[in-house]
Structure 1
Amino acid sequence: MLVDSHCHLDRLKLEDLGGSLDKVLTQARAKNIEHFLCVCVTLNDFAQMAQAVQPYSDVSISCGVHPLYKEEMFDKAELLNLASQDKVVAIGETGLDYFYSEETKPWQQQAFRHHCQVAVELDKPLIIHTRNARQDTLDILKQEQADKCGGVLHCFTESLAMAKAAIDLNFYISISGIVTFGNASELRDVVRALPLERLLVETDSPWLAPKPYRGKQNQPAYVHEVAQFIADLKGISLAELAEITTNNFYNLFKQIKRNKVA
């Protein structure tokens, strides 16, 4: 069985996917996907997201503000209040993105620190987005003692050196459909070198659909293709890759109780 360790179910265009979240999740379960982590990107939409997935025992949620949502003003107390809810299993997605928004560095760094502080206080793992901000990301994680709560660098596209440094800080590395893209040879080299015991798989749907679905809306069922591609890179069976990454997922997100697929 597999899990989709990072998806945005509330952002799917359901009219293009059978018309309902029920159908999307049923299609994924048919491909042996047993759990889905629906990741928050803005506190303004948190309540609506939580309500949308509430009926599904195999969907968990996070709470946080994406570093590119600079227009959203929030304070640490608000984040702490929402993230304290039992149904929230992780803090984020948070982090730093200097590729798209280098001019907002001060806001991003402050927000990132607040997320790290809340995660440590609540002992809930962090979900990190990082792009073109390798050293600052690692420095803030160290300074805020994020190794105490751990977490994951999601949709990883950075260097092997950064991956190893994050692993040393008690973090996992999650790989999306980007690994299947034609221009991702460097990422494939990184994935080959990553230790299996620190590896997760994800879709980041509705974005970044893997081959052979490039150009289409991504969905959780496609984590199967991501996992198969990684298994081939690592020279192991899909079954072995699925078992290891799924166990890693539950080891990291300890609040999630493992359910049988309905």
Structure 2
Amino acid sequence: RYLYCYWGGVLKRAIPVTINGNAAATAEIFHSVHAGPDKWADNFPIANGPRQSPIDIAPDASSYDAALKPLRLKYDPSTCLEILNNGHSFQVTFADDTDSSTLKDGPVSGIYRLKQFHFHWGASDDKGSEHTVNGTKYPAELHLVHWNTKYASFGEAASKPDGLAVVGVFLEIGGANASLQEVLNTFSAIKAKGKQTSFADFDPSTLLPACLDYWTYDGSLTTPPLLESVTWIVCKEPISVSREQMKKFRELLFSAEGEAECCMVDNYRPPQPLKGRSVRASFKK
């Protein structure tokens, strides 16, 4: 037998699999094969909704909005808790019971607390980002996920039109990124789906570009349940990552221990139709 690992309808690799009668494991493998973005609308009709993400950003079609404020990001390294492999990315989680790590201003009003950050990346350096700029793909994209404290919890906020604010940062090939390397150094402990380890005292602001000019639009989560609750803030300036560092991303696995190994690559959703939405820029062209 051969197991084909898909994400976004793209064949990742064919792996010999011995089916040993473990129905649960087989079902999990089968689900992973058939649950790429092209299938999501079957179970999540909002996949075809009016404000889906990501999008292709066309800078010439975006409008400068002088009313947009600079981003105010205040992150406390002591709120960083752990890093885990959730089977579709790796995620660094933060304590969010106080206003210690927050996003303010930019296109949003109120206080948004940092919940987690994660990445999307490709099987090669010519693709991997979820958002694109004039069709240009980056090898990876960082998402810092925040929730609006006017709601009682992340879970409640995630279902509200103004519930979440996600800062997106592109990665481009260049010099090695020392801050990113701190994250990559944990990967041996979280290689397989479901693995996690403590990850303390990390300052995510060290992963931000020096210039925080941004585009913003109303969008959604880019993985199921695809809720249309996200104010997207996509930074114009990328951060650097070396080719060797990108190779480390691809050593993670979609699969759990005991399953046929399936490398975690191409875990991005393709750009979705704009459907009349406006994209605003915090900077002049």
- Report which structure shows greater RCO (CA 8 Å, sep ≥6): 2
- Provide the TM-score with structure 2 as the length reference: 0.23
Bigger proportion of residues as strand: 2
- Provide the TM-score with structure 1 as the length reference: 0.24
Structure index of larger Rg:
2
Bigger proportion of residues as helix: 1
